[in-house]
Amino acid sequence: MLQVEGLQAWYGESQVLHGVDLEIHDGQIVTLIGRNGAGKTTTIRSIMGIHRQKRGRLILDGVDLAALPPQRIARLGVGYVQDDRGIYSGLTVHENLVLPPVVSPDGWDLDKIYDAFPPLRARARQPGTKLSGGEQQMLAIARVLRMGAKLLLLDEPTEGLAPILVRRVGEILREIKAHHLTVLLVEQNLRFAVTVADHHYLIVNGRTVESLSNEEVERREQELLEYLGV
Amino acid sequence: MENLLLQVFNGLVNGAFFALLSLGLAVIFGMLRVVNFMHGALYMLGAFATYLLGTSAGVSFWWALVLAPLAVAAVGIVLERLFLRRLYDVDPLYNLLLTFGLTLVLQDTMRLRFGIQGVPYSAPSLLKGAIVWGNLLFPTYRLFVLGFSVLICLLTWWVIEWTRVGMIVRAATENPGLTRALGIDVDRWVPPVFAFGVALAALAGVLAAPMRNVSPLMGADLIVTTFAIVVIGGLGSILGSVVTGFLVGVIVALGAVYYPPVSNTLVFVLMAIILLLRPAGLFGSLE
């Protein structure tokens, strides 16, 4: 589904990505793990087309994304959930949901969304940012499901959430997987990552240095935790 | 008491112009992040368009209410496509300088053709005269200006709050980058939104033509106060710009009665106080 080869990225003069390689197959959940500042968010923003100062190959189902603007990439079926959730305070919960265009017939309709995320139905008319952190996270994910995205880019969806809500995000991810959607997940929490993902990439100083299975992550947990600086 | 009522009425009529102008500025600033310094010049063009349509083509005031804003909006789109859009990626200061320069060009072009005194334009016969209420005399044309401007403000509010276009404008105002990443071609909406803001300024110009002298500098007098209103209301806030527009109209009018020397300064005193107490303005929020 998505291949990233030799991705490099810059902020002005300073290079932050020095060579990110990863491959995600249809229906997989793949995580990017690494410490703060390693380049995880820049990788996601480069795939999404938001970060423009970059070089390398970004191929989505045979289409080269490298030169496309974000709105075109979104319309190819890439759903972006940014690390602060990106809920609009000037839009109601309902408007936050229906803002993106529906880009594929597989998009969830509103009934399905509200059945899966009941708190959103109850608060549909309230400003989006009146929701709790966990509810905002649900809204941000629900928004791209309604769009009909086939590849979801989730930037730390569990960050700052209470343990019970982290479990809820895990359930949502398994449900997404049951619908044969594909996910690239930025995650710091290794224990959580192995419960939801199929494969992992470790990113250090702007480079993917290891490609790991769940078993390898579990076996080398201590060593990896040191990499993450936890 | 009656005098006070009349002054509040006159203040609201002046406020109607401020509201239309600052609403246009707010919409443009929200979507483009451009402080449109030529807003006053576009208001002036609206008034001249009304005069020219009348004298050269016999177009009535009523048709001018529609045609003049459309014509000035077309000028606005041309200026946006030719000049403004080249500067979106650099410091907003450059667009401020650009629109300041364009203001001078527009003003002097009209001055070359019409001179500095300007030209007269009379209200349509339907709106001449006044409505008497007790001992008070309300000029019909002023009542019309007030009613029409409130209607346009409500209509704009409805479009922004309740239509899909309005939703996209609100989203793009709040976070243009994310809005693009959610599949919306924000840039496609920039020219029409700019044109809409320009049309509001031109419409205020049409309404001003029968009330004020149509002259090249008529916008220059108004624009500084309008900027103060946008700051007081909260940069980019739709509700804030409208409410503050009417509020400042009334304050200036009352100031002129009770202590004329401060009448024009009052707005800026108010701005300074608001900035101290609420830096984001009455209706704004800090990003």
Q: Is B77 on the interface with A (CB under 8 A)?
A: no
* A91/B168 touch (CB, cutoff 8 Å), yes or no: no
pLDDT digits (tens, 9 = 90+) for A11-30: 999 999 999 999 999 999 99
Within 8 A of B175 by CB-CB distance, chain A residues are: 86, 88
Average pLDDT over residues B85-89: 90
What is the ipTM, given to two decimal places?
A: 0.92
- Quickly count: other Cβ atoms within 10 Å of residue B90's Cβ: 9
pLDDT of residue B63: 97
Mean pLDDT (chain B) is 93
Which CATH topology does A2-228 take? Rossmann fold (3.40.50)
pLDDT of residue B221: 81
pLDDT of residue B263: 81
Q: Is B174 on the interface with A (CB under 8 A)?
A: yes
CA of B178 vs chain A CAs: smallest distance (Å) = 7
Mean pLDDT (chain A) is 93
Tell me: pLDDT of A230 over 70.
no
- Which of B178, B183, B184 lies at the smallest CB-CB distance from A86? B178
Residue B180: closest C-alpha in chain A: A71
pLDDT digits (tens, 9 = 90+) for B126-176: 999 999 988 888 999 999 999 999 999 999 999 999 999 999 999 998 999
A221 three-class SS: helix
- Whole-prediction pTM value? 0.89
